[in-house]
Amino acid sequence: MQVVAGPRQVGKTTVVHQLVAEIGPTLRYASADGPTLRGDRWVEQQWDAARLAAKDAGTRGVTLALDEIQKIPGWSETVKRLWDEDTRLKTPLRVVLLGSAPLFMARGATESLAGRFELLYLPHWSFAEMREAFGFDLDSYLYFGGYPGAAALVNEPDRWRCYISDSLIETTISRDVLLLTRIDKPALLRRLFDLACRYSGQILSYTKMVGQLQDAGNTTTLAHYLDLLAGVGMVSGLQKFTGDAARSRGSSPKLQVLNTALMTATVGLSPADVRSDPEYRGRLIESAVGAHLANAAACGECELFYWRERADEVDFVVRSRRRVIAVEVKSAATGRLRSGAAAFAAAFAPQRTLLVGGDGIALDEFLSRPVSHWIDA
């Protein structure tokens, strides 16, 4: 059984159809992504129909793909029962479960389906993928980000912003967060998302966030809401690298969008405005590098942090197995490593320190290669 999770509109359903077309078995596809929650009886109905088709298909078998499965209350227990029945009867039925809320998908699978599934995470599209599929150059990727479904609208930025805001941001918050978990202050969660997009690349304590949001919500609530937004692939709060997990969890987060489209769609600047604003473009560049690293972390390739000690700071710290790599980002052509890199090296002895931009690795080269290349090179 495959469990495929990832943010909305990154091509999960398309991938399943393409794979089945190559592999050959009949596909039965159904989605639980409706305005109201469906029940476990819906899963049973789809499963029974696939079983009947599997009998007719013989040894070729059938693939059952259930999309947005996390919307079904208790879905993992129902799937476990049905899967175990088919395993005993040797039913030629392949099952693919898809969902746009990775946090809830992973939680449900881990709790009930241990030993029965393979988890596949599909992140936001990289620069290399958007360039190959849609001809994006670097400026296009910085502004329009990695949403393949929105690529057709890049020549109409106003329509593009409406699509990102209405079809992606609002749908993700309303259907993948508010509908699936208890949120006592939905307005606060929405304002926190806007704040994270506006301050992506900056370190903000939860106390300062409370002040910015002008809400009575406490810091524990904000930390929980930020975790939920990370769990649906929108924004995250990177923790400070300390070498100690407990101390890292207690640090002020560095806000980070997982797709730069979320920044530009919410700020209201045109592509020309961004190109003519060096300060904002610099923030966009750092966020693009952070998103590239954060999506690799979401796939399990590495862990991602930042580091700051008094006036010394390193933009990103990547940890993979026992390897630690410091990453500094410079938007100016003449940028050089800051003193923070030397202080970090003295404290933690990283395997290497990478400078992206400036006199270091060209930004387009860094974004064109998978993060594993920079870890293992």
pLDDT tens for each residue of 78-137: 999 999 999 998 888 989 999 887 666 766 666 777 778 888 888 999 999 999 999 999
Share of the chain above pLDDT 90, in %: 57
Tell me the pairing of strands 352-356 and 323-329: parallel
Res 176: pLDDT: 84
Please answer whether residues 274 and 285 qualify as being in contact, where contact means their C-beta atoms are separated by less than 8 angstroms: no
pLDDT tier at 18 (50, 70, 90 boundaries)?
A: confident
Q: What is the DSSP letter of 253?
A: P
The pLDDT assigned to 228 comes to 92
Q: Which of 376, 368, 355 is nearest to 286 (CA)?
A: 355
pLDDT band at 46 (very low <50, low <70, confident <90, very high): very high
Token pair in block for residue 176? 């993948």
Tell me the CA distances in angstroms from 377 to 124, 161, 297, 370, 371, one per residue in order.
23, 38, 18, 11, 10
Reported as half-sphere exposure (CB side, CA atoms, 13 A), residue 311 has a value of: 2
Q: Which strands sit side by side in the sheet containing 323-329, from one edge to the other? A: 254-257, 235-240, 303-309, 312-320, 323-329, 352-356
**What's the pLDDT score for residue 112?**
74
Dump the DSSP string for 261-276: HHHHHHH---HHHHHT
Taking 80 as the threshold, does the pLDDT of residue 222 lie above it?
A: yes
CB 136 within 8 A of CB 43: no
Q: What is the pLDDT of residues 26-44, one digit of tens each?
A: 888 888 876 665 788 899 9
- The answer to whether 154 and 144 have CB atoms below 8 angstroms apart is yes
- Please state, in angstroms and rounded to a whole number, the distance separating the CA atoms of residues 287 and 352: 21
Mean pLDDT of the chain: 88
Strands 303-309 and 93-99: what pairing? Answer: unpaired
Domains of the chain: 2-121 (3.40.50.300), 127-376 (no CATH)
Pairwise CA distance, residues 130 & 145, whole Å: 8
- Please state, in angstroms and rounded to a whole number, the distance separating the CA atoms of residues 91 and 79: 15
pLDDT at 119: 82
For residue 246, what pLDDT is reported? 54
| pLDDT score of 248 more than 70 | no
Has residue 334 got a pLDDT over 60? no
Bigger pLDDT: 111 vs 290 = 290
Calculate mean pLDDT across residues 328-343.
77
Buried b (16+ CB within 10 A) or exposed e, 14-34: ebbeeebeeeebebbbbebbe
- Kindly report the number of other CB atoms within 10 A of residue 169's CB atom: 21
Q: Given this model, what pLDDT does residue 124 score?
A: 96
Residue recorded with tokens 């699509």: 163
pLDDT at 12 over 70: yes
- Residues paired with residue 236 on neighbouring β-strands, in sequence order: 256
Gap between the Cα atoms of 36 and 227, Å rounded:
24
Q: Which whole number is the average pLDDT over 242-249?
A: 64
pLDDT interval class at 19 (50, 70, 90):
confident
Q: Is the dihedral of CA 170, 70, 2, 48 positive or negative?
A: negative
Q: What is the pLDDT of residue 23?
A: 65
The token pair that represents 152 in the structure block: 């057709």
Q: Does residue 166 register a pLDDT over 70? A: yes
Can you tell me the distance from the alpha carbon of 101 to that of 178, in angstroms, rounded to the nearest whole number?
Answer: 12
**Distance between CA 144 and CA 142 in Å, rounded?**
6
User: Rounded to whole angstroms, how far apart are CA atoms 96 and 78?
Assistant: 14
The two structure tokens encoding residue 303: 């862990």
Contact (Cβ atoms closer than 8 angstroms) between residue 353 and residue 345 = yes
Mean pLDDT of 207-221: 81
* Mean local confidence (pLDDT), 186-209: 92
Q: What whole-number distance in Å separates Cα of residue 325 and Cα of residue 184?
A: 39
Is residue 81 exposed (0-12), middle (13-18) or buried (19+ Cβ within 10 Å)? Answer: middle
Give the tokens for residue 164: 């990102």
- Percentage of the chain modeled with pLDDT above 70: 92
CA–CA–CA angle 171, 118, 81 (5° rounding): 85
Cβ atoms 335, 325 nearer than 8 A: no
Question: What does the pLDDT read at residue 59?
Answer: 74
Amino acid 251: pLDDT:
79
